[in-house]
């Protein structure tokens, strides 16, 4: 017998749950792309995107997923033969660096492994060694979705400043924008990339590159830039079609408009961050108790270095795979697969799973996942501390 019938919950770290209102906003005939409502709506989306990124500077919008936003950022600031510093804390920043390498950019990679955040002392050392300032950009992820580590972006800014190094600070916020707190301007981030399908609660298909004037000066020298990916024509264009260098992603824009209203006007960005923080703490509380009498371990040990958008968990040998299968078949919840690179000498890939808790997620959804996980561990005879769910409920109860 299966108990999975009912509304299925896809609790993977992107694409995330889309609000019914976002879906309904998209359910309409094609709008006119030359005049009328759509044109005015896009003019309003631009400042709201900047409000979510906490920047006064620029945003270029693309019809692209996160990988497209990665490429857009790279081509606008780099030339073939340039050197960059890639700060690996999981699959994603390394992937961004691999893309740059394939474009003829020389990558110096500092790989901090799958269980920790960026070691600023090693970054400082690399910057100090670059006496003739050949490094043009430093690539980092705020949250690496494979390991669920959260990097300290202000500390990275401080490290660049202490070294008096002019490299651009580039941050991948695809997993965590509108989930984990982020302040582009106050933190001195020069380029930030994100996508529509995680914290922004909209289908995959829109990518965003935020950049400041310093980054735009690098655009002036970049020889990798191509007409389609050029960010300049997309910022404050005189003609509407130039926002997207062709037909706009009409239906995504209606969905995004609704999602931005929900984030900025209805809930408020800081309250959105707070909700994610409390829900993440509830998950961590359960994991901690479960781990007291069994193999369950969050991948990232230090709480302040964990994301509020996604949690990578080691359930013990082979148990990540077993738990994912049980959750889908018996509880109607699909959890995230582990991504390659999270394994290592101390663990195998099949030990892990990932819980997505980004975007349109509330207390009952998270408690439902946690209760189902606890039932699954009992069913599969995975030893665990018995009161994990109670610990999570206590976090929720005390948050009010
Ligand atoms: C999801 C994600 C990406 C990739 O985004 P796609 O839309 O799948 O191309 C890149 N970086 C991070 C941190 C992500 O979470």
149 shares its domain with 289: no
Tokens at 380, concatenated: 């599969």
Q: What is the CATH number of the domain that holds 359?
A: 3.90.1150.10
**Domain contains 2:** no
**Domain contains 227:** yes
Question: Quick one: which atom of ligand 1 is closest to the CA of 310?
Answer: 15
**Domain contains 3:** no
260 shares its domain with 314: no
Q: What percent of the chain has pLDDT over 70?
A: 100
Question: Quick one: which atom of ligand 1 is closest to the CA of 70?
Answer: 10
227 shares its domain with 272: no
41 shares its domain with 138: yes
pLDDT at 347: 86
77 shares its domain with 167: yes
The number of distinct structural domains making up the chain is 2
Tokens at 330, concatenated: 């018996």
Q: 68 CA distance to ligand 1 centroid (A)?
A: 10
- Bridge partners of 150, per DSSP, are 143
pLDDT at 348: 87
- CB of 175 within 6 A of ligand 1: the answer is yes
276 shares its domain with 213: no
Q: 352 CA distance to ligand 1 centroid (A)?
A: 19
- CB of 14 within 6 A of ligand 1: the answer is yes
251 shares its domain with 277: no
Please name the residue that has the structure tokens 């009992």: 378
- Choose one of 265, 292, 322: the last residue of a domain: 265
Q: What is the CATH number of the domain that holds 221?
A: 3.40.640.10
257 shares its domain with 302: no
pLDDT at 227: 97
Confidence tier at 23 by pLDDT (50, 70, 90): very high
* pLDDT tens digits, one per residue of 351-384: 999 999 999 999 999 999 999 999 999 999 999 9
Q: 399 CA distance to ligand 1 centroid (A)?
A: 31
Domain range for 381 is 9-16+268-399
- CB of 72 within 6 A of ligand 1: the answer is no
Pairwise pLDDT comparison (349 vs 400), residue with the higher score:
349
């Amino acid at each position: 017998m299966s108990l999975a019938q009912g509304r299925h919950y896809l609790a993977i770290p992107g694409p995330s749950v889309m609000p019914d209102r976002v879906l309904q906003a998209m359910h309409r005939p094609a709008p006119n792309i030359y005049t009328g409502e759509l044109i005015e709506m896009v003019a309003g989306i631009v400042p709201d995107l900047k409000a979510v990124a906490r920047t006064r500077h620029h945003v270029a919008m693309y019809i692209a997923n996160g990988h497209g936003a990665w490429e857009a950022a790279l081509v606008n600031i780099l030339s073939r033969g340039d050197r960059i510093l890639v700060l690996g804390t999981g699959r994603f920043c390394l992937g961004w660096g691999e893309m740059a390498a394939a474009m003829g950019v020389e990558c110096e990679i500092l790989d901090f492994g799958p269980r920790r955040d960026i070691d600023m002392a090693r970054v400082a050392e690399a910057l100090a060694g670059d006496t003739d300032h050949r490094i043009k950009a430093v690539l980092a992820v705020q949250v690496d979705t494979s390991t669920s580590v959260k990097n300290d972006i202000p500390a990275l800014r401080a490290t660049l400043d202490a070294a008096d190094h002019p490299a651009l600070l580039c941050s991948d916020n695809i997993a965590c924008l509108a989930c984990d707190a982020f302040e582009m301007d106050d933190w001195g981030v020069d380029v930030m990339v994100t996508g529509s399908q995680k914290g922004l609660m909209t289908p995959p298909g829109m990518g965003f590159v935020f950049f400041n004037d310093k980054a735009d000066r690098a655009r002036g020298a970049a020889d990798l830039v191509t007409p389609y990916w050029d960010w300049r024509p997309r910022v404050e264009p005189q003609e509407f079609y130039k926002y997207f260098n062709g037909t706009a992603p009409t239906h995504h824009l209606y969905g995004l408009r609704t999602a931005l209203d929900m984030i900025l006007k209805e809930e408020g960005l800081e309250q959105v961050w707070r909700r994610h923080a409390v829900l993440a703490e509830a998950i961590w509380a359960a994991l901690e108790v479960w781990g007291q009498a069994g193999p369950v371990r969050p991948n990232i040990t230090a709480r302040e270095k964990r994301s509020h958008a996604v949690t990578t968990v080691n359930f013990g040998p082979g148990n990540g795979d077993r738990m994912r299968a049980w959750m889908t078949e018996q509880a109607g919840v699909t959890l995230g697969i582990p991504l390659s690179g999270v394994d290592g000498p101390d663990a195998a890939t099949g030990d892990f799973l990932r819980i997505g808790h980004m975007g349109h997620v509330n207390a009952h959804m998270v408690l439902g996942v946690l209760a189902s996980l606890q039932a699954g561990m009992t069913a599969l005879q995975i030893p665990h501390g018995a009161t994990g769910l109670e610990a999570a409920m206590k976090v929720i109860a005390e948050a009010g």
